Amino acid sequence: MSLLSSIYEMFGKAPNKKPDDSCYTEGACKIHSEKRDIKGKKERVAAIKAERDMNRSHKWRNRRWASIFIVNGLFVLSFSLDIQLIEGSMSASRVFGFHLADLNAALQVTLAFKEILINLVIGTVTVLILWWLLGGRTFCSWACPYHLLAEWAEEIHLKLAEMKMVRDMAMHRGLRTVLYILFAGLAFGTGYTVFEAISPVGIVSRALIYGPGLALIWVVVLLMFEVFFTRRAWCRYMCPIGLTYGIVGITSPVHVRYELENCLHEGDCRQVCLVPHVLEVTKKGFALKEQVALGPDCTRCGLCVDICPTGSLQFDVKGLNKLL
DSSP for 201-228, written as a single string: HHHHHHHHHH---TTHHHHHHHHHHHHH
pLDDT at 324 over 50: no
Under DSSP, the state recorded for 323 is -
- Classified as helix, coil or strand, 133 is helix
- Which of the four pLDDT bands, split at 50, 70 and 90, describes residue 111? very high
Q: Which of 34, 18, 12 is nearest to 282 (CA)?
A: 18
Lowest average pLDDT, out of 36-50, 108-122, 195-209, 231-245, goes to 36-50
- Which of the four pLDDT bands, split at 50, 70 and 90, describes residue 316? very high
| Beta-bridge mates of residue 87 | 94
Chain-centroid distance, C-alpha 209: 24
Stated as kind and residue range, the H or E segment containing 102 is none
Mean per-residue pLDDT over the chain, rounded: 88
- Give Dmax (Cα) for the chain: 66
pTM for the whole structure: 0.89
The C-alpha atoms of residue 108 and residue 120 are separated, in whole angstroms, by 11
DSSP-H helix ranges across the chain: 3-10, 26-37, 42-52, 59-81, 103-113, 118-134, 138-142, 145-162, 174-190, 194-198, 200-210, 216-228, 233, 240-248, 268-272, 303-307
Domains of the chain, residue spans: 3-55+253-317, 60-247
Compute the residue count for the chain: 324
Under DSSP, the state recorded for 322 is B
| Beta-bridge mates of residue 255 | 316
The C-alpha atoms of residue 92 and residue 199 are separated, in whole angstroms, by 13
Provide long-range contacts, Cβ within 8 A and 24+ apart, for 42-48: 44/264, 47/264, 48/264, 48/266
pLDDT at 323 over 60: no
- Classified as helix, coil or strand, 259 is strand
pLDDT, tens digit, 9 for 90 and up, residues 8-54:
888 888 888 888 766 888 888 888 888 777 666 666 667 666 666 66
| Strongest mean pLDDT among 13-17, 117-121, 213-217, 306-310 | 213-217
Greater pLDDT, 206 or 32: 206
The C-alpha atoms of residue 272 and residue 150 are separated, in whole angstroms, by 13
